[in-house]
Structure 1
Amino acid sequence: METETNLTGLFVPLVTPFTDDLRLAPDALARLADEALSAGARGLVALGTTAEAATLTAEEKRAVVRVCAAACRAHGAPLIVGVGTNDTAAAVATLRELAARGDVTAALVPAPPYTRPGEAGTLAHFTALAEHGGLPLVVYDIPYRTAQPLSPGTLHALGHLPEVIGVKYATGAIDAATMELLGRPAPGFAVLGGDDAVISPLLAAGARGGILASANVRTADFGELISLWHRDAAGPARELGAELAQLSAALFAEPNPTVIKGVLHAQGRIPSPAVRLPLLAASAEAVRRATDLSTARTARMRQPVAS
């Protein structure tokens, strides 16, 4: 089981590459997985929001997990798999299927979306998953998508469940609630940032790492940002964090993961920028701006030093 000690660093929630006719492109996914881990990612996340998991068939989901699991085995890296549903019994069944594989480290699970069961209902949901799912859980706190906010007290209670090992914290703000959460985490409970544009200040406040969609594009730089904050190198961390915040804003200028896919296609890393309905492909201007920012630091680093 992952612990707070090693549920640390950068986890990349991979996009799901498609062909132009919207078929799964497993070879491209395998390349992305290998590239991310070779660039220093601690682990991968499959079937998250960035993966367009809601549009994948059950067999496609299994194929994605197989590809990502193979890459993680080759690199000795943890694999987290998204399990998002407002049906507790269905979530338990999915967790059991994943646990039976033997190569999935944990599941990333949001508060039940749309149902809005309240914080007591959410705690009961995760208690059932922890007791019956057979797999460690990372809570996904993203009220922007679930419409179910979670207080620091509820997250603290969730952190004391034996199978809950952390939270992807994506509330859209760094405020008093954030500081309360970071100030008294449950033992063995890691806080990972999930709002890409504000990951730098969240790391400065004590987050252990991040699950960052923007790291599909500049994996090594996001990994370096986390490392800089862990080493208390505040000056370089602030500089790099400010640059990556601009990139993240550009990558999220249109619905995720449309711009990310556009940039990856422009870089020749996936066969098509295609997304499945109800998403529409990103605009050319959004892709152009994000692509320019995706190489900004590399270009600056290559400039000759003035004599």
Structure 2
Amino acid sequence: MLTEIKQQLKGSIAPVITPFTKTGDVDLEKMSALIQWQLESGSHGISVTGTSGEPSSLTTEERIRVMENAIRTVNSRVPVIPATGSTNHQETMYLTKCAQDMGATAVMVIVPYYNRPNQHALYKHFKTVADSVDIPVIIYNIPGRTAVNLEVETIGRLVDDCPNIVGAKESNKDFEHINRVMHRCGQDFLLFSGIELLCYPMLTIGGAGSISATANVAPAQVAEMHNAWFEGDRDRALQLHYELMPLNDVLFKDTNPAPVKAALGMMNKIDPILRMPMDIPSEELQKEIRPTLEGYGMI
């Protein structure tokens, strides 16, 4: 069962943003429309309530509704990998079990942020979560947000001891660390890039794909880069890698997902609303985003 699911988990897994209405409520209708657009554009999987989905601004009940909506909208057409982690261990356990019960393909569990657990504590946290469910678990390591890095040997121990920990999303600019994770965990370990400029390099060392915020704005191009790679057209994949670079750059001149939501607003996909304490980018940055989108023919 795990082997079959692992074969499905590759390519561009789009980490879909959470749209809000003008009154600040979660807009499930627009989220369904975004997911449908992702599927029509060729994305290989859908993730929700990850960093791009503003999970720390959602209540637990809202996260459950978003996960249910994503699974219902996708309707088994591609894998759905909700992000179920938080800074609270019991909440992580609860959301992970809910995701399994509602039919998620796998879950993605972030290194707890703010708490800064040591490596032994991180091992206990992830092992307890993984042992509580049967579905695959993808570890989400993003030290720039969590203030602690999940070390190579800790990931290796978890993979050794938890058969359903099948991969990791590495939002880690230390590419040496990423190489060592792959070497320690083996070539069948599913390594996904969460750093946009490392999506192509990740594939070259045996990575499974990416979970890239840019896929919110350019789903077809990000998916095509992966398709080209898997089909053996390395030149086309590399060309798309560089073609996407200006868009990647402008979408990360402010904290994700603020520029992404601004871009989707300009593309008439959503109302560009974030929940406080976050907000849309400055007018100055918006004036950079718009011509960049125009250059790609997106508006």
Q: TM-score, normalised by structure 2?
A: 0.91
Separation in structure 2 between the aligned mates of residue 44 and residue 32 of structure 1, nearest angstrom: 10
Q: 1:255/1:164 Cα in 2 relative to 1: closer, same or farther (>3 Å)?
A: same
- SS of the equivalent of 1:155 reads helix
Q: Which stretch has the larger CA shift, 185-194 or 27-36?
A: 185-194
Q: 1:30/1:7 Cα in 2 relative to 1: closer, same or farther (>3 Å)?
A: same
Separation in structure 2 between the aligned mates of residue 221 and residue 212 of structure 1, nearest angstrom: 12
Give the corresponding residue for 2:98.
97
Separation in structure 1 between the aligned mates of residue 297 and residue 232 of structure 2, nearest angstrom: 23
* Shift of residue 188, structure 1, vs aligned partner: 4.5
> Do residues 47 (structure 1) and 46 (structure 2) align?
no
Q: 1:187/1:89 Cα in 2 relative to 1: closer, same or farther (>3 Å)?
A: farther
Q: Which runs of 5+ in 2 are unaligned?
A: none
> Do residues 200 (structure 1) and 200 (structure 2) align?
yes
- SS of the equivalent of 2:130 reads helix
Map 1:102-117; keep pairs closer than 5 Å. Answer: 103-117=103-117
* Shift of residue 63, structure 1, vs aligned partner: 2.1
1:170-202 Cα deviation digits (max 9, x unpaired): 112322x22222334347520011111321222
Separation in structure 2 between the aligned mates of residue 167 and residue 187 of structure 1, nearest angstrom: 13
Map 1:224-303; keep pairs closer than 5 Å. Answer: 224-270=224-270, 272-298=271-297
- Identity percentage of aligned residues: 26
- SS of the equivalent of 1:78 reads coil
AA in 1 matched with 2:90: A
Q: 1:267/1:298 Cα in 2 relative to 1: closer, same or farther (>3 Å)?
A: closer
Map 1:156-175; keep pairs closer than 5 Å. Answer: 156-160=156-160, 161-175=162-176
Give the corresponding residue for 1:141.
141
Q: TM-score, normalised by structure 1?
A: 0.89
Map 1:29-68; keep pairs closer than 5 Å. Answer: 29-68=31-70
AA in 2 matched with 1:261: K
Give the corresponding residue for 1:304.
none
> Do residues 88 (structure 1) and 81 (structure 2) align?
no
Separation in structure 1 between the aligned mates of residue 58 and residue 91 of structure 2, nearest angstrom: 16
Q: Which stretch has the larger CA shift, 54-63 or 240-249?
A: 54-63
Q: 1:108/1:70 Cα in 2 relative to 1: closer, same or farther (>3 Å)?
A: same
- SS of the equivalent of 1:81 reads coil
Q: Which runs of 5+ in 1 are unaligned?
A: 300-307
- SS of the equivalent of 2:36 reads helix
> Do residues 79 (structure 1) and 80 (structure 2) align?
yes
AA in 2 matched with 1:48: G
RMSD between superposed Cα atoms in Å = 1.9
- SS of the equivalent of 1:158 reads helix
Give the corresponding residue for 1:303.
none
CA contact (8 A) 2:11 2:227 kept: yes
1:262-285 Cα deviation digits (max 9, x unpaired): 111111111x11111110211233
AA in 1 matched with 2:288: R
AA in 2 matched with 1:55: S
Flag as ranges the 4+ runs of structure 1 deviating above 6 A: none
Q: 1:129/1:188 Cα in 2 relative to 1: closer, same or farther (>3 Å)?
A: farther
* Shift of residue 8, structure 1, vs aligned partner: 0.7
1:104-131 Cα deviation digits (max 9, x unpaired): 1111111222222211211111111111
Separation in structure 2 between the aligned mates of residue 239 and residue 261 of structure 1, nearest angstrom: 26
Q: Which stretch has the larger CA shift, 238-247 or 216-225?
A: 238-247
Between Structure 1 and Structure 2, how many residues are aligned?
295
Give the corresponding residue for 2:126.
126
Separation in structure 2 between the aligned mates of residue 187 and residue 172 of structure 1, nearest angstrom: 20
Q: 1:134/1:182 Cα in 2 relative to 1: closer, same or farther (>3 Å)?
A: closer
* Shift of residue 53, structure 1, vs aligned partner: 1.3
* Shift of residue 297, structure 1, vs aligned partner: 4.4
* Shift of residue 41, structure 1, vs aligned partner: 0.8
Separation in structure 2 between the aligned mates of residue 173 and residue 180 of structure 1, nearest angstrom: 10
